[in-house]
Amino acid sequence: MLKKMLQGPVEHTVKVTRIKGHGYGVRVLVNGEVNQEQLAPTRADIGPVAKGMLRMEDKCGNVSQYAHRARHRVGEKATPTE
pLDDT tens digits, 29-76: 999 899 999 999 999 999 999 999 998 888 888 888 888 888 776 666
Q: Which domain holds residue 63?
A: 8-72
Q: 70-79 contacts: CB < 8 A, separation 24 or more?
A: none
CA atoms of 58 and 2, how far apart (whole Å): 11
Those residues with Cβ within 8 angstroms of residue 1's Cβ, 6 or more apart along the chain or in another chain:
36
Residue 78 has pLDDT above 60, yes or no: no
1 falls within a domain: no
Domain count, the chain: 1
pTM for the whole thing? 0.79
Check if the beta carbon of residue 30 is closer than 8 Å to that of residue 53.
no
82 falls within a domain: no
77 falls within a domain: no
